[in-house]
Amino acid sequence: MEFSQSVQHLIRENEPLAPLTWLQVGGASRFYAEPCSLEELRCLVADAQRLGIPFRLLGDGSNILVRDAGCDGLVINLSSAELSSITVTENKLICGSGARLSHAISHAVGAGLAGIEYLAGIPGTIGGAVVGNAGVKNCDFGSRVTRVRIIDSEGLTSDLERSSLQFGFRHGNLDGTVVVEVEIGLEPTAREELTRRMQAAWIVQRAAQPPSGTRGVQAFVDPDGASIAEVLEEAALKGYTEGPVALSSEFPGFLVVNGVASSDQVLALIGKVTQSVHARTGIQLQPQLRIW
């Protein structure tokens, strides 16, 4: 399979993906690339379309579960400096999709710009935040997005203005889109006040998550009108385990892995919990994880 000459040097075959995800389970990708520039990313997207192979974009791996069989396609890692850049222009933050959300928040606070500081402590990248509309109570990322730059199937870039964007609870209309840049509109505010808000939000978020270094992810989102903790308690599933995979008894909705585990075991636990919750409460849990 022939990729364009300009990106052939980037292509690696049978690349293990487990080390690149928070759960550290799963197989390899048939093809893998880490583009260093927008031009290389555009070429990879166009090549994938031309060759008829599926492709996926990888951020920090905080919400990805790779199947044990791996990915029969191309995985593109967006961690390069150019694709994760962050700049401040007047009252706007312009971020590459590979930039970490936490870094964007720090830049905004340092520049005295308010609007996303309440999202401190949420893991992931800018690309993931805009596609999944990351949010907390009374604050969501999408409400601050003024423009999104995307790549089409031919490798060409175009801008989607605010009027073309739609955001709801933990979702938007960008799923399946190759996002390369996000423009965020903010308001000038005293840095001291923003620092206080950011630190308070970070403390709240971190208190609700397993400690750093834990092989864990948020498997489910809070259902409408209830908390995931209440739902799991009612279904008698708090702390439920499937071999080395378990629902955290301390951090509701989080799934943790201890020791050697497989993606099949993770999927088995998710399936069991989803079915049991629906049978006992009538609530259909929505998964937070993206299954590759």
Q: What is the pLDDT of residue 138?
A: 80
Q: What is the pLDDT of residue 105?
A: 98
Residue with the larger pLDDT of the pair 161 and 288: 161
Domains annotated on the chain, with CATH: 8-77 (3.30.43.10), 85-207 (3.30.465.10), 216-291 (3.90.78.10)
> Would you list the DSSP string of 228-280?
HHHHHHHTT-TT-EETTEEE-SSSTTEEEE-SS--HHHHHHHHHHHHHHHHHH
> Would you list the DSSP string of 108-146?
HHHTTEESSGGGTT--SBHHHHHHTT-EETTEEGGGGEE
Whole-model pTM over 0.85: yes
Residue 147 has pLDDT above 80, yes or no: yes
Active-site residue, selected from the candidate residues 30, 170, 197, 290: 170
Q: What is the pLDDT of residue 213?
A: 77
Alpha-carbon distance of 268 to 273, in angstroms, equals 9
pLDDT band of residue 227 (cuts 50, 70, 90) is confident
Q: What is the pLDDT of residue 253?
A: 85
Q: What is the pLDDT of residue 27?
A: 97
pLDDT digits (tens, 9 = 90+) for 167-198: 987 788 998 899 999 999 999 999 999 999 99
Please confirm, yes or no, whether 147 is among the known catalytic residues. no
Q: What is the pLDDT of residue 238?
A: 84
Q: What is the pLDDT of residue 156?
A: 92
Q: What is the pLDDT of residue 211?
A: 84
In degrees and rounded to multiples of 5, residue 252 shows phi and psi of -55, 135
Of 12, 41, 43, 44, whose CA–CA distance to 28 is shortest? 12
pLDDT digits (tens, 9 = 90+) for 58-99: 999 988 999 999 999 999 999 999 999 999 999 999 999 999
- 136-147: average pLDDT: 92
pLDDT band of residue 209 (cuts 50, 70, 90) is confident
Residue 4 has pLDDT above 90, yes or no: yes
- 110-124: average pLDDT: 96
